Every structure is written in C-alpha cells, then in structure tokens.
Homo-oligomer: A and B are copies of this chain.
C-alpha cells in the first residue's frame, strides 16, 4: 500500500482501464461509480441498502459533516465507517467545492478560506490543514486536498492564480497527512484552458500522490469543453495510479470518460434524479410522475432485477410519488443506483473482453446516448 492505497491496473482496452483500488477498508473494481452519501447517508437509503446494491466505495462530504454533526462527534464514534455502519471504503471531498457553491461570504486568503455556514450563518475558516484534519477525524480512506473552485467563466488570469494557490494548498495538505491514515489525492484545476490543465498536472507531479483527481468540471460549462479538458488531463495523469473525475456525471459522460482513461466517478445525479421522479432505464429516462404510468403494471425497467423492479410497478411508484409517500424515495434511489452500478459493471465487462470500443459505440447510439 502506497500512502494509504494500492492500485492494480489489470487490463487496458484502448485508453479504457480495468483496475482495482484497495484501501484500508477493502477493494473497489474500477472503473467505479461512488454513490454520494453527503451527510453520512446515501439519501433515502440505509448503508445496508447500499451494500446490497453492490457498491464498494461511497463518497462523504467534508463540508456537510464538518458543519453537522461535526468531525469530532464522528471521531468519537470511531470514524465515519462506524457512525454510519458502512464497513467498506469511503472517499471524502475536501470541502472546497461546497464552500464555493453553498456557503455565503467567502473570503479567500493564502492561509485558507473564510466562509459562513449555509445552515446557521456561523463563521468558519477552512485551511488545507483543517481540511486534512477533518478528513482524518472522519477516518476517510481517500482524502482530497483543499482546492479553490473558480466559476467556469472566471477570467484566465484568475484561473491561473487560483490554480497556483491550489497547488500550494495541496502541498500543505500532504505535509499534514499522518502516516497510516487514508490516501490523499490532489485536485487538478485549470478551468477550461488546455495549457493550464497540463501545467497544473506538471506542477503537482513533484509529489508522490497515490492517485489524482480532476476537479472544476461539470460546473455549468458546455459538455464539449468538459470533454476536451478530461481528454487532455486524463491521458497525462500517472498511468499507475487511479484517476478520479469529480462530480461526473450522466451515464453518457461516464462511458465517454472511461474511454479517455478515467477510473473513478461520483455524482448526485442518480440519487437526486430519483427523488425528482426521473428514473434511468435501459430504454431511456422515465419520468414516473407522467400520467401514462398511472395504470402500468410494468416494472420501471423490464431488464432490471433490482429490489424495486422486483417489487414495485410503475403504477405503484407513480402513486407513491404523487402522494409524496416516503417509501417512494427509497424505491427510486435503489433503482437509479442499480442502473449506475450495473452500467459500471457492464463497462468493466466490456474492457475485460476487449470490446469497449464496440460497447461505447452501441451505448452512444442507444436510448441513453443523449
């Protein structure tokens, strides 16, 4: 285990990679999708549900857990794994993204970022050192270095300065990491500028990171520009370490980015869309609130064998959604995560059998290829 993590690159098919990430809490087969468990809960599910879905690693949000219940509270339970009864791997973000997207009155200084909580307006000062301390208190298996996330339309000069700050913060995070604790990944920024993305990777390359993340994407920019950034960045990241694309994405984006050599993904899309009534199926997206489902005795996806598809009809889910019944949220979230985790399993199968290019082509021309 190098700095908290082992990565086994098992096979490649084009630029797509089949691998395995092993942390102190077990292995995850890559390419992997990590369900988002924001506040110590994958929304609407128990940790047992998430295990039964076959997830091998989940994501927790440092910002949310720091504010509520507090990292020291979670540490008193023996860490996030014990607190939420999730025995497998946990990756935590740095808190940076939420500070820049959720909180108020941000003031960025060399030392760190001052912000007000979106919950109660209380003042906090997040430094790279505190970001690591929090994640270590949570006992995260894969920690993220604090980064600044400029808006996607920030001027080039701003992105350049911000990127340099993110590099200095990453080195301070690394200096703070304790031996024996989780692995630490830096986050590649650089906005929508190919040369800055490349330069940032070169700047970060000096340290012995066990893996690296691509950040600052999927924040409102056009899809083509996002893909251009992933394309230029993924191929330049060290081949013997996992590459994590943060906050991505749609099923189509997952398949496209695997083709570019990305290994790890997280996104709220399957869980959030579930709660909003949008379900992913092998035949395309399905809006469960539509009247056409009212009398339908079909499962959400006739090719899916998840708990929801075995036990609830579209008509029943339509009714639960319309009646705002709590049971709806669990049924829908289970199905959407089953879709995402099943997609990743299909992707891994295709890479293993050297038919990923064909899989990719078929996916793009299929109902979820939008």
Contact = CB atoms under 8 A, between A and B. Distances in A.
A40 interface: yes
A46 B294 contact: no
Contact of A322 (B68, B315, B327): B68
A110 interface: no
Contacts of A295: 73, 76-77
A305 to B, nearest CB: 15
B69 A322 contact: yes
Contacts of A73: 294-295, 315, 319
Say how many copies of this protein the assembly contains. Answer: 2
Given A311-B85, A316-B83, A330-B330, A325 B43 contact: yes
A39 interface: yes
Contacts of A47: 311
Contacts of A276: none
Q: How large is the interface on A (under 10, 10 to 19, 20 to 34, 35 or more residues)?
A: 35 or more
Contact of A326 (B83, B84, B307, B329): B329
Nearest to A43: B326
Interface in A116-172: none
A327 to B, nearest CB: 5
B45 A327 contact: yes
Contacts of A77: 295, 297, 313, 315-316
The 6 residue pairs across chains A and B that have the minimum distance between CB atoms = A44-B326, A69-B319, A41-B325, A41-B327, A39-B323, A326-B329
